Amino acid sequence: MPIYCDPNPRLGALGGIIGGHVRAVDNLAVAARILVEDPTEMLVVIGPGAYIDDALAFTAGLRLERPATGVILLRDKVDVWLLNQALQCGVREVVGLGDDWALHTACERSRMVSARMLGGTAAPPPAERGPEGEIITVFAPKGGVGKTTLATNLGVVLAGNGHHVCVVDLDIAAGDIAISVQLDPVRTLVDAVSMAGHLDTTGAASLLTQYRPGLQMLLAPVTPSDAEKVNAALVSELLGVLRTMFEYVVVDTASYLNEHMLAAMDLSARLVLIATPDVPSLKNLRVTQDTLDLLSFPRANRYIVLNRADSNVGLSPDDVLRVLRAPIAAQIPSSRAVPLSINKGTPITLSNRDHAVSRAIARFADEYLLSAPPVGRGGPGANDAPAGPGGPGAPGAAGDGGGGLLARRRDRRKTTA
């Protein structure tokens, strides 16, 4: 039963948006008392009428006493200062009043994080790593920032360096890779469902579509309803097999964290997080970073790519760094050539290798994906960002050992018990 706290707690439609049987209270003291009486409650939504200082103090205290309980802050206006203050105190997400979809998805994400932290969901153990295979997951917590374009072009660049590469479209319900490179797949990810539990390299190979020499693709289902047939266990099984077949498996994902995305991240040697220089995108990426911290996913595995970095949208480089509180591994410039390349169905790194965008992507791949060998997730300093090609504090690379997100979460609970 989630708690909604506001001095004038008129729920109305908010009850359905938050989900569950919502308990409305008019002050944070009452909310705190309910949490003491009900140790199973894992979600508090603080409305726009609550004083911000009180909301932040409440959240900071809750983070120490009940780290698995999530707080969503609903505000009339969201700005950089508020995001920084809220996220520093442990607020999971800040949502603008009136953005019902953002509030609903924020509540769902918070519930999922809480369940994972408490061991409420099970995840399959990662498959054994092949001798060379490395999974790179590309994720953006907001649509329209160029995630699919980056994933596709990274696949082209890695293959162009002589490597055997597979690009996987894990945006199961709305994947765009096939249409963006003008492929008409005979088989897709959904065809793996019948092989679940006994998938081998022969079966996995039958699902692939050849794009060019050295680069194959596993494409998303054509029918969105097929997404329901693909579960997280199958994603883990499939990626585990693919990384024994390819040197690099680049995974494009949906723009929200769910069990499929976490299964891919569990097996990933490196995680590429992409954003654009606007407040909603940066806020969502910061929330994602904090969520991955809660799930004990090492920062050493993560690389932030700022797309359309030169856009004049009123945010300075200092503003971007202040929100993200993490180094930026690569900055990709804005260019009309990118949507033109998508409309033509040819990745820009293939059609114009000398373009500034192509050079930025190739430089990122060379400095962070090809040059630096992965380090073990569970090794010393795995949760610290080592110095790399981007200078002191830039994120390093990490390998596939360590037992996955849930294993790391269990280890974290042991050390903090």
In the sheet where 330-332 sits, what is the strand order? 209-212, 215-218, 165-169, 248-252, 134-139, 270-275, 302-307, 330-332
Under the banding of pLDDT at 50, 70 and 90, the label for residue 149 is very high
Give the pLDDT confidence of 154-170 residue by residue, as tens digits: 999 999 888 889 999 99
Give the pLDDT confidence of 168-202 residue by residue, as tens digits: 999 888 888 888 888 888 888 888 888 888 888 88
Distance CA(381)–CA(268), nearest Å, equals: 18
Model confidence at 390: pLDDT above 60: no
| Pairing relationship of beta strands 215-218 and 209-212 according to DSSP bridges | antiparallel
Q: Are 232 and 123 in contact (CB under 8 A)?
A: yes
Eight-state DSSP code of residue 124: P
Which of 27-36, 96-105, 145-154, 155-164 is predicted with the least confidence, judged by mean pLDDT?
96-105
Distance CA(190)–CA(77), nearest Å, equals: 42
Residue 236, SS3?
Answer: helix
Model confidence at 389: pLDDT above 50: no
Which of 53-57, 94-98, 274-278, 402-406 is predicted with the least confidence, judged by mean pLDDT?
402-406
Give the pLDDT confidence of 188-245 residue by residue, as tens digits: 888 888 888 888 888 888 889 889 888 999 998 888 777 788 888 889 999 999 988 8
- In sign, the C-alpha dihedral spanning 300, 305, 310, 312 is negative
Q: How many CA atoms lie within 13 A of 268 on its CB side?
A: 31
**Averaged over 250-267, what is the pLDDT?**
86
Under the banding of pLDDT at 50, 70 and 90, the label for residue 41 is confident
Confidence (pLDDT) at 152? 93
Q: Give strand pairing partners of 25.
A: 5
Give the pLDDT confidence of 66-103 residue by residue, as tens digits: 888 999 999 888 887 888 788 788 888 888 888 888 88
Under the banding of pLDDT at 50, 70 and 90, the label for residue 136 is very high
Distance CA(208)–CA(4), nearest Å, equals: 47
Which of 161, 138, 170, 133 has the alpha carbon at shortest distance from 248?
Answer: 133
Six token digits for residue 97:
């009043």
**Averaged over 353-362, what is the pLDDT?**
93
Distance CA(185)–CA(47), nearest Å, equals: 47
Concatenating the DSSP letter of every residue in 142-181 gives STTSSHHHHHHHHHHHHHHTT--EEEEE--TTT--HHHHT
Higher-confidence residue of 313 and 163: namely: 163
Q: What is the mean pLDDT of the chain?
A: 80
Model confidence at 374: pLDDT above 80: no
**Averaged over 390-413, what is the pLDDT?**
38
Under the banding of pLDDT at 50, 70 and 90, the label for residue 375 is low
Around Cβ 194, how many Cβ atoms within 10 Å? 10
